Amino acid sequence: MTAPTLELTTTALARLVDHTLLAPDATRDDVATHVDAARRMGVLAVCVSPSMLPLEDAHDVVVATVVGFPSGKHHSDVKAAEAARAAADGADEIDMVIDLGAAKAGRFDLVEADVAAVRAAAPRVTLKVIIESAALTDEQVVGACRAAEAAGADFVKTSTGFHPAGGASEHAVRIMAETVGGRLGVKASGGIRTREQAERMVAAGATRLGLSGTAAILAGAPGEGSGY
């Protein structure tokens, strides 16, 4: 049986997209080109590395950045300091990476404390919590989502796009959406390369999409890049 696809207009799909450039070799000229492309495509947000902030010419798009990226194996106070700096540099949204090892060990108290530290450091930004769902069991996905919600997150997010276990899956998105029950958003990110994949993620419960090959995906062609 074929999984359902939610057909969206190109404009509606674009308004779910964080147009993402997190390549470590990206230059400021690359970021400027990326922001210009985001504006032309009508996407909701751009997501760039924190060292690229502030973005001087991104007034008409939401600005997102990452914290503890991509491994999550940073002290919570370091993540908190990074979040505070990002907010001061103009970030509207922060995508933080949890300590994946803590989640795999069932130490969701530590996951919650980690998220809470970032939440406290940047209380006015939208906080998305990356759980690396492909590396977790279903039960661990549920536990990580519950910890993120308890700590005050606004979204849970599937993946960094850098973990060898893989990126977003419809299965994980569905579990995450069921767990947070509409109280938090769900961002699908990592390995989304076609419009059909993007629409399937939305049908499974994603309310935001992290894409790097955005233009091709919106056009209905395979997108290049990792789809962070």
pLDDT in tens, the chain (228 residues): 445 666 799 999 999 999 999 999 999 999 999 999 999 999 999 999 999 999 988 889 999 999 999 999 999 999 999 999 999 999 999 999 999 999 999 999 999 999 999 999 999 999 999 999 999 999 999 999 999 999 999 999 999 999 999 999 999 999 999 999 999 999 999 999 999 999 999 999 999 999 999 999 999 966 554 445
What whole-number distance in Å separates Cα of residue 223 and Cα of residue 226? 9
Query: Is 224 part of any domain?
Result: no
Q: Which residue of the set 18, 99, 114, 157 is catalytic?
A: 157
Return the percent helix, strand and coil in the chain, to nearest 5.
45, 15, 40
Q: 63 lies in which domain range?
A: 10-219
| CATH code for the domain of 50 | 3.20.20.70
Question: How many structural domains are present in the chain?
Answer: 1
Q: Calculate the dihedral angle through the C-alpha atoms of 170, 168, 15, 156, rounding to the nearest 10 degrees.
A: 100
Q: Which residue of the set 95, 99, 114, 154 is catalytic?
A: 95
What whole-number distance in Å separates Cα of residue 143 and Cα of residue 138? 9
Q: Which residue of the set 79, 114, 154, 187 is catalytic?
A: 187
Instruction: Kindly state the tokens that stand for 162.
Output: 């850098």
62, with CB counted inside 10 A (0-12, 13-18, 19+), is: middle
Query: Is 227 part of any domain?
Result: no
Instruction: Kindly state the tokens that stand for 170.
Output: 């419809």
Residue 104 annotated in active site? no
Whole-model pTM: value is 0.94
Instruction: Kindly state the tokens that stand for 74.
Output: 């940073």
